[in-house]
């Protein structure tokens, strides 16, 4: 869902970061994705960092997330639509604010001035996706969210810009989430079969 707002050609002027309390719970690779999404929004002069920016950064910089797509051609189609966001279907995004049902499920961040994410530079849907990615990881007992967690959340929000791109590229979000679930399940099973050292001089722990 896109809500028209007064248009200003000025790009994001303030540092736009995810909720500060979330940053320790993102893997370094996912933090790279977040940073890349912000850089793309700044370069494009967009009002906010939205779910399509997150998707674009994921498919460019996270091989694990890219492997969840149904082959290289499908991934290439997704990337092709993302790089064309400044023309055609993406033009209206420059004059609207991304919102979705997911964005309305979360309370306001601590210290924020509004519930819609505008104070931090993130669209409501993008801010909600980052939090939901961490919650997915926490439910598995993992301390940090991964790119696959974020991709699953993006694909699960039918009103997001990320899902609009996926559908235009011929990607079934439900099938994508099924492949993500299979990969996460396999990775979790693999970790449970090996010992992970706590650190030098400390005993190993079965994960």
Highest average pLDDT, of 17-31, 81-95, 131-145, 191-205, comes from 131-145
Say if CB 104 and CB 131 are below 8 A apart.
no
> For 106-123, what is each residue's pLDDT tens digit?
433 333 333 444 445 899
Answer whether residue 3 shows pLDDT above 50: no
Cα-to-chain-centroid distance, residue 188: 21
Query: What's the sign of the alpha-carbon dihedral 82, 84, 89, 95?
Result: positive
Residues 6+ apart with CB under 8 A from 9: 45
Q: Please give the pLDDT value at position 35.
A: 92
Residue 78 forms beta bridges with which residues? none
Q: Please give the pLDDT value at position 46.
A: 84
Task: Return the number of other C-beta atoms located less than 10 Å from residue 57's C-beta.
Answer: 26
Q: Please give the pLDDT value at position 198.
A: 33
- pLDDT interval class at 19 (50, 70, 90): low
Residue 98 forms beta bridges with which residues? 2
Residue 204 forms beta bridges with which residues? 197
């Amino acid at each position: 869902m896109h809500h028209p707002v007064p248009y200003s050609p000025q790009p994001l002027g303030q540092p736009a970061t995810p909720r500060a309390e979330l940053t320790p719970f993102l893997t370094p690779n996912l933090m790279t994705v977040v940073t890349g999404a912000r850089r793309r929004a700044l370069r494009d002069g967009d009002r906010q960092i939205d779910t399509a920016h997150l998707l674009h950064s994921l498919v460019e910089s996270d091989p694990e997330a890219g492997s969840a797509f149904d082959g290289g051609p499908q991934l290439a189609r997704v990337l092709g639509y993302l790089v064309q966001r400044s023309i055609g279907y993406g033009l209206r995004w420059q004059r609207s604010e991304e919102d979705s049902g997911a964005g309305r499920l979360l309370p306001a961040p601590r210290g924020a001035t509004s519930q819609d994410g505008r104070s931090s530079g993130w669209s409501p849907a993008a801010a909600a996706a980052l939090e939901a990615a961490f919650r997915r990881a926490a439910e598995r007992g993992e301390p940090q969210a991964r790119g696959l967690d974020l991709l699953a959340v993006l694909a699960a929000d039918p009103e997001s810009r990320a899902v609009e791109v996926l559908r235009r590229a011929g990607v079934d979000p439900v099938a994508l989430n099924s492949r993500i679930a299979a990969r996460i399940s396999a990775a979790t099973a693999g970790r449970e079969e090996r010992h992970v050292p706590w650190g030098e001089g400390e005993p190993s722990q079965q994960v």
